[in-house]
Structure 1
Amino acid sequence: MQKSLIADISLLFVALIWGSTFVLVQNAISFLEPMTFNGIRFFIAGLFLFIWLVLFYRDQLRAINKKLLLSGFIMGVWLFGGYALQTIGLLYTTSSKAGFITGLSVILVPLFSFLLLKQKPKMNAVMGVAIATVGLYLLTMAGTFSVNQGDVLVFFCAISFALHIIFTGKYTSLFPTLLLTVTQIFTVAGLSILSSLLFEDWKAAFSLEILSKNEVMLALIVTSLFATAIAFLLQTKFQQFTTPTRVALIFAMEPVFAAITAYYFADERLTYFAIIGCLCIFIGMILAELPTKKTKTTTKAIDQPIG
C-alpha cells in the first residue's frame, strides 16, 4: 500500500477521533472552564508521550537541539492559537457559525501553501476545496450570515489551524516524530495553563469534586490519550507523506463526524441541508484524490509534500 494512501487513511482516522469527541468536550466544559480543561488535557497527553519516549525511544532524546525545540514551539503556538481563539470566539457567536468559519482553513491551507511555500495546488484539489467549502456551509449554516466580533476571532482561529498544518508539514520530515509531538503538546499545555491562571478560575483544576465527575473524567481520558496524544502523533508522523491541501480536505471531515456522533449520542437531528453538506465534503475530499493527467514537460508533481 502506498505511503500516501496510508497517510490519508491515518489522517481520516484523526478527523474521526476529533469529530467524535465534540459531545464529550461540551459536557466536560460545563463543569471545567475551557482553558483549564485544555491545560490538563494537553499536559496529560504530553506526559503520556514523554514516558513512552523515555521507555521505548530513548535514543531520540539525543536529537534534542534548539532547532527542534523551536520548531515544536512554533507548531504548538499555532495549535494553541487555534484552540484559544475558537474558545473565546464561541462566547460571542454560535457553534454552527464557529464550525463553518473554522472549516474555512480548508481554503486557507492551499492559499498559504502558495504564498509561503510557492506550492501551486492541482486543479482537482482546487475543485475539491470549493465543493468542500460549500458543504461546510450547508452542514453548519444553511441560513443567513452576519459578522460579529466572535466570528472575527474564530476566523483568526482558522488561520492558526491552517498555519499549524503548514508548519507541521514543514518540520515533520526534519525531526523525530515523537520528540517533535511531545514538544508541541507541552507548548500547548503550558500556554493553556498560563491562560487559565490569567483569565479563568484555575482553582477548579484542583477540585476533586469537579475532576471526579463522570463527564469530566471520561472527557479528559478520551481527549488526552486519543484526541491529543495519538491524534497529533499520527498527524506529525504521516503528514510528511501527503500535501497540506489534502490534509485540510481530510480534516474538513471532522464536522461531518461530529454531526454523525451528535445524531447518535446527543439526539441532534440532521437537516436535509446538513446531509447534502456532508456529501459535498466527502465528494470534495475524494475529488482531490483523483489522479490528474501528466504532461510530457512535467518533471515533478506540482503539489509535493513539504519538507
Structure 2
Amino acid sequence: MPRQSQQERLLLMSDLMLLAVAVVWGTSYGVVKSALAFYPVLGLLALRFGITFVLLSPALRHLRSADFRALRGVTLAGALLLGIYLCETFGILLTRAANAAFLISLCVVLTPLVEWWMLKRRPSRVEWIAVALSLLGAWLLAGDGTFAFNPGDALILAAALLRALIVCVTKRVMRDSALPPLSVTAVQSGVVAFGSAAAAWLFAAGQWRPLPSLAGHPAFWGYIVYLVLACTLFAFFAQNFAIKRSSPTRVSLLMGSEPAFGALFAWLWLGERISLTAWIGGAMIVAASVLATVRWRAWRVSAANA
C-alpha cells in the first residue's frame, strides 16, 4: 500500500511538472520572438542548447554504463528534437500563425497512434475523448477556422509527427535503460546544439554573427537565461522525468495545453487581442488536459468505497 501511494505521488508530481512545462513553453514563443530580433534562428538554437549542454555535461558520466541500445535511442531522440526545432522554426516563417497553431497541435492526435504502433499500448476511451476535445479546442484557438495548405504547413505537420515520435522513443529509452533524465537531456541538448551549428556552417553562413554584447543588450541575455534555465533545462528534464512514469498519450495531452497558455501569455505580456472563440478553444484544451490527468478508475473505486 505505501508503495502504491508513493507511485501515485510520483505520477501526480510528474503531471504537475508537465503542466508547468506547458506554461513555460507557452511563454517561450514570445520570448523567442523577442530574442530573434537580436540574433538569427540557427545561431540562437546553437547558443541556447550549447549553453545547456555545457551546464549538463557532468551528467554525461552516466553514459559510460549505458549499453549500445540505450546510446542509440537517446541519440535518436536528440536527432528528432533537432528536426522538431528546425521544422517548427522554418515552417513558421512560411505559413500563418493560425495554421501553425492548429497543425502542431495534431501531435496530440498522432501520439496515441504512434504509441499504439511502437509500444503496443492501446489508449483508453477517456484518452481518445480528451484527444478529440483538444483537437477541437486547437481548431478554435487557431483563429477564424479557415485553412489553406502551403509548403510551410508541411514542415509544421512534420514537426507534429516528430513530436509524437520523440515522446514514444524517449519512453522506450527511459523504460529500457537506467539513464537519469538529466543525462538524456544533456545528450538531446548536445545534438541540437551541434546540429544547428553544422546546419548554419553548411547551408546558411549568414546565420553566424557576433554575439550581442552583455552591456549593450542586457534584454537579449535575459531572454537567453530564461530560455536555457526554464524552457530547456527544467522543461526537458521534467518531460523526460514524466515520460518514464507515464504513458506518451498522457504526456502529450498534458503538453497539449501549451497553445492555451501561449495565448494567455500573448494577451497579458504582448497585448495581443484574443477573440471569444479563441478563449473557448483554449478552455477546451485545458479541460482535455484535466480529463487526461484525473485517474478516473481510482476515483470511481474511491467513491464506491466511501
Contact 1:100 1:141 (8 Å CA) reproduced: no
Q: What SS class does the counterpart of residue 32 from structure 1 fall into?
A: coil
1:7 aligns with 2:25: no
Q: How does 1:1-307 map to 2 (within 5 A)?
A: 2-51=9-58, 53=59, 60=62, 62-173=64-175, 174=177, 175-200=179-204, 201-204=206-209, 206-209=210-213, 213-292=217-296
Instruction: State the 1:143 CA deviation.
Output: 2.5
CA distance in 2, matches of 1:196, 1:48: 23
Instruction: State the 1:212 CA deviation.
Output: 5.0
CA distance in 2, matches of 1:144, 1:192: 33
Contact 1:24 1:215 (8 Å CA) reproduced: no
Q: In structure 1, what residue type is equivalent to 2:30?
A: V
Give the RMSD, CA atoms, in angstroms. Answer: 2.0
Instruction: State the 1:118 CA deviation.
Output: 1.7
Q: What SS class does the counterpart of residue 94 from structure 2 fall into?
A: coil
More helix by share: 2
Equivalenced residues, count: 288
Instruction: State the 1:166 CA deviation.
Output: 1.0
Instruction: State the 1:15 CA deviation.
Output: 1.1
Q: In structure 1, what residue type is equivalent to 2:32?
A: V
Instruction: State the 1:210 CA deviation.
Output: 8.9
CA distance in 2, matches of 1:251, 1:207: 32
Contact 1:211 1:217 (8 Å CA) reproduced: no
| Aligned position for 2:303 | none
Report which stretch shifted further, 69-78 or 273-282: 69-78
Gaps of 5+ in 2: 1-7, 299-306
Contact 1:129 1:284 (8 Å CA) reproduced: yes
Contact 2:254 2:293 (8 Å CA) reproduced: no
CA distance in 1, matches of 2:193, 2:143: 32
Gaps of 5+ in 1: 295-307
Q: TM-score, normalised by structure 2?
A: 0.88
Contact 2:131 2:253 (8 Å CA) reproduced: yes
Classify 1:288/1:16 alpha carbon distance in 2 versus 1 (closer, same or farther; 3 Å).
same
CA distance in 2, matches of 1:145, 1:39: 33
CA distance in 2, matches of 1:181, 1:85: 20
Instruction: State the 1:289 CA deviation.
Output: 3.2
Contact 1:124 1:289 (8 Å CA) reproduced: no
Spell out, residue by residue over 1:33-58, the C-alpha distance to the aligned partner (whole angstroms, 9 max, x if none): 1111011100101111124x38xxx6
CA distance in 1, matches of 2:289, 2:28: 22
Q: In structure 2, what residue type is equivalent to 1:255?
A: P
CA distance in 1, matches of 2:212, 2:31: 19
Contact 2:49 2:189 (8 Å CA) reproduced: yes
Classify 1:196/1:123 alpha carbon distance in 2 versus 1 (closer, same or farther; 3 Å).
same
Identity %: 30
CA distance in 2, matches of 1:124, 1:150: 33
Contact 2:138 2:281 (8 Å CA) reproduced: yes
Q: In structure 1, what residue type is equivalent to 2:208?
A: K
Contact 1:69 1:183 (8 Å CA) reproduced: no
CA distance in 1, matches of 2:214, 2:143: 34
CA distance in 1, matches of 2:100, 2:164: 15
Contact 2:130 2:289 (8 Å CA) reproduced: yes
Instruction: State the 1:93 CA deviation.
Output: 0.2
Report which stretch shifted further, 174-183 or 76-85: 174-183
CA distance in 2, matches of 1:236, 1:293: 25
